[in-house]
Amino acid sequence: MADKDDILKLLRDQEAAVARGDAAGVVAPMDDDYVLFDLPPPLVHRGDAAQGEAALNDWFASWKDGVTVALRDPQVTVSGNLAAVYGLSRMRGTKKDGGSVDNWSRRTVVLAKRDGAWRMIHEHNSFPTKMDGSGASAMDLKPE
């Protein structure tokens, strides 16, 4: 149970860093070989989490009064020194261009315990794709 609690604290601390606009806090739990499949391009982000700080700071600057991202009812599975967390993630805020954002996506995080501490080694965020030939993401879905 301690591992699950530690993992949930890591994720909640990361969410708090997003809400503060703290890029260093967001990347702090990411391992050096972290691989991210994120919502915006490119298909894959690899390696040094510090490279992500500049992009995160640019992203934070695009929000009027900040942004929140929260994983609802995260499911945590731990097996030895590996763990997986998944659930639905809600992002809310107002862009400086005036566009309001309130959407749900899917999030999966894989962690490894290294030197006694949990580190994020992989994350996958995605929206379902409408299967109507448009190629558009279904960003208007809400959890049941």
Tell me the C-alpha distance between 11 and 89, whole Å.
Answer: 12
Beta strands in the chain (DSSP E): 30-37, 45-46, 63-79, 82-95, 100-114, 117-126
Amino acid at 4: K
How much is the pLDDT for 41? 81
How confident is the prediction along the chain (144 residues), in pLDDT tens digits per residue?
799 999 999 999 999 999 999 999 999 999 988 999 988 888 898 876 656 888 899 999 999 999 999 999 999 999 999 999 999 999 999 999 989 999 999 999 999 999 999 999 999 999 999 999 998 999 999 998
How much is the pLDDT for 1? 77
How much is the pLDDT for 45? 85
Tokens of 118: 């949990």
How much is the pLDDT for 52? 81
Q: By three-state DSSP, how is residue 6 classified?
A: helix
Domain 2-126 = CATH 3.10.450.50: yes
57, 9, 41, 37: which is closest to 124 by C-alpha?
37
Alpha helices in 1-144 (DSSP H): 2-20, 23-27, 51-61
